[in-house]
Structure 1
Amino acid sequence: MGLPYSLYRFNTFINGDSFLGETEEVELPKLSRKFEEFQSGGMGGPVKLDFGNEAMEASIKFGGLVRRALSHYAAPTVDGVQLRWVGAYKSGTSAIPQSLEVTMRGRFQEIEFGTQKAGEKSEQKMKFPISYYKVVIDGQTVIEIDQLAGITIVDGVDTDAAFRAIIGL
């Protein structure tokens, strides 16, 4: 019997700069595939065809005003900012922690300062659409998606390699 690993501690880095103690929350991207329903003559019912990855987005919430994070707003390219999140997970049935590292490249789309009220905690939230995404668990790459290069790798299998070969990439 085992118990799930729960997040114990984490850190966030923007272009290599640590935001330890300043990051309150990170919402990692939802992975989703674009499916379209298709049915033609003779089929008993529709199937959903896979047209690749949907757009990905992350967000980060700081516990108050964090000036250093603001300087990354308005990056000129779709992969101009690197956001890296590292989490340490523990389980009640294992003394060995697990690591989860998520590396993303994109640029900040929104900065939201929210309600500001004297004597109360404030926050700063930033929305981050991404073009590159990589998940590493305990040193092993599990998922890597590079939207610009047309790469999707899952557990070491490059699911888009044949398509890139056909179009000469």
Structure 2
Amino acid sequence: MSIPKTLRSMVLFHGSQTWLGEVSNVTLPKLTRKTSDWRGGGMPAGVPLDLGMDNLGELSFTAGGPMQKTLSAFAGGMLGQNLRFVGEYRQQDTGLVDIIEVSVRGRYSEIDFGEQKVGDVGSFKGTVKLSYLKIVWNGSTLIELDPLLGTEIVDGINIGSTLFKTLGLI
């Protein structure tokens, strides 16, 4: 039996700026694959065929109040925003710690000022639609996805497009 890991601490970086103490939560992207069910003659059930990666999704965060760097970047390009989440996850029964880093690039698709009330901590939310994603677990790259370069690395193996390899682009 194992007890789940708990996020003990985290920080979000926007480019070279550290948002230590400013961001209360981060929603990391959901990874999905496009599939199509196939059931050929004689098959008692269908199976999902892998049609490649779906869009990389989005990363969103909530801060305690308006953030100028986010607003200044609102009209930026799809590669313009570099965000990096670093989280310390502790295994409650063993005390072992995992450091997970999620680096993304993309463009802000939504900025929500939320309710602003005198005397209360505000709620300022930003959402970035992704064009790049990299997940590093305890210093080792676990996943790196860069659709623009045809890169789809999972656990050290590039399962990306063979067309890019054939053309000498990667």
Quick one: which amino acid aligns to residue 79 of structure 1? L
Gaps of 5+ in 1: none
CA RMSD of aligned residues (A): 2.0
Asked whether the 8 Å contact 1:15–1:81 carries over to 2, the reply is yes
Is residue 102 from structure 1 mapped to residue 102 from structure 2 by the alignment? yes
Aligned to 2:149: 149
Quick one: which amino acid aligns to residue 14 of structure 2? I
Equivalent pairs, count: 168
Asked whether the 8 Å contact 1:105–1:130 carries over to 2, the reply is yes
Gaps of 5+ in 2: none
Aligned to 1:74: 75
Instruction: Return the offset for 1:2.
Output: 4.3
Deviation sequence 1:52-107 (CA, Å, 0-9, x none): 1111211011112222322221112x111101000112223344422001100111
Quick one: which amino acid aligns to residue 126 of structure 1? G
Instruction: State the SS of the aligned residue for 2:108.
Output: coil
Asked whether the 8 Å contact 2:85–2:101 carries over to 1, the reply is yes
Is residue 6 from structure 1 mapped to residue 6 from structure 2 by the alignment? yes
TM-score where L is the length of structure 2: 0.88
Instruction: Return the offset for 1:166.
Output: 4.1
Asked whether the 8 Å contact 1:34–1:53 carries over to 2, the reply is yes
CA distance in structure 1 between the aligned counterparts of 2:49 and 2:92, rounded to whole angstroms = 42
CA distance in structure 1 between the aligned counterparts of 2:41 and 2:92, rounded to whole angstroms = 55
Deviation sequence 1:104-129 (CA, Å, 0-9, x none): 01111110011222233211101110
